[in-house]
Structure 1
Amino acid sequence: MENSKYSTARIAGREHIPLYPNNFIALRIVQLVVAVIVIGLAAYGVSGWAFDGDIFIMVVGLMTMIVTIYYIVAETASPAIYNYWAVLSLDIFLVIMWLASFALLASEVAAIYSYTSSTYYDYYTGSYYTSGGLGGATAWAACLAAASGLGGLEFALFIGSLATHGVMLHRHRKAGLHCTPGAAPTYPTGGSEFKQQPTQTTVPVQQQYAAPQQQAYAVPAPTYPQQPYQTA
């Protein structure tokens, strides 16, 4: 059976938390670290030129930092605030946000790198001049490219955490456990309700009938009168 390998034994107060793999908390820490790095790179990009892709990925990084801190605190220090439905919803939300943000930023960074040079006409001298498109902004564009690449990595990390959480959540509920601390597990019956009828033990009542006591009485034998003997 699927539940045979899933233990329902829990520490008091952690009955509502699924049993994750041992390195799952490390995945949450990596998600937090990558989000902080993306925020730093995006903030540097905004300082040079603020555009939608850069701002978007920075906001997603801030949301990820808040959410992953909640994950880590709830799973380690304060299990009472943990709710596996909230974790599932937030993981799905961040998967969508990281996909949209890193894809948008990557397309805009590609457009920046394609702008290698520009030619303009000087009306005062009557000459054409060509200048480098990136020029001194090469480091700035490289930071944006790094933020986009780390955004793709964060998207892959949340795909992994969502898949792991989904599997363990299914096993957790399959074992009859709930999302409330201290709730006793309930065991499903596979769709058929088994109702055990109460066993009624009928104890026969032994009725004792007292047989009437018969007393013996001495009855004298009947006496018959003797007839005289007559001779002819």
Structure 2
Amino acid sequence: MAISDMRRQYSNGTLTDEDLTSHPVDLFERWLQDAIDAQIPDPTAMTVATVDENGQPSQRIVLLKQVSHDGFVFFTNLGSRKARELADNPRVSCHFPWFFMERQVRVCGIAQRLSLKENAEYFFSRPKDSQLAAYASRQSQPLSAKAALMTQFSQLKQKFANKALPVPDFWGGFRIVPHQIEFWQGGEDRLHDRFEYNRNDDGDWDTQRLMP
């Protein structure tokens, strides 16, 4: 079968005006909990898109670690491509692909660095091996061979076997402060339900239904 002929109906649900909340994060949290309860793989996975100095977009999948009315939080190596691009251009978009539930959420906002206190609180909540991996990997830098990374990891594991690691100064979090959030629910015959929230000048949220 040609991929152009692959199609199916989307019939798992609908999204109506009555389902909307005054703040989009409240609806997002409801959908996130639905994804967790459905036990879909990696329900907190989100694609984060950044843009470099030449206008070239770049995307990668990270894990959402916190969400509130203040925004969406993820952590990374501050020397990584995404962190370097966010330092030059903090405008960011992220996407939650809950395909198993025929749902998607798109977020546009501004990425802000977390405080040292917030970074430390999350870093020390991670398993020890995850902390060591943050030290071992200079994310996005060239690597001659996987063995070199594993050797670095093993050496760090021995060095810090009986003591705590300090929070690395090259690692931290970003909070995406949203100004636009779109919710997409698949519909039969491609008549999908789409609602877009936009933050207005008063800090409240306006909503509109979009054509599918």
The TM-score, its normalising length taken from structure 2, stands at 0.22
Judging by fraction of residues, say which structure has more helix: 1
- Larger relative contact order (CA 8 Å, sep ≥ 6): 1
Task: From the CA coordinates, give the structure whose radius of gyration is larger.
Answer: 1
Judging by fraction of residues, say which structure has more strand: 2
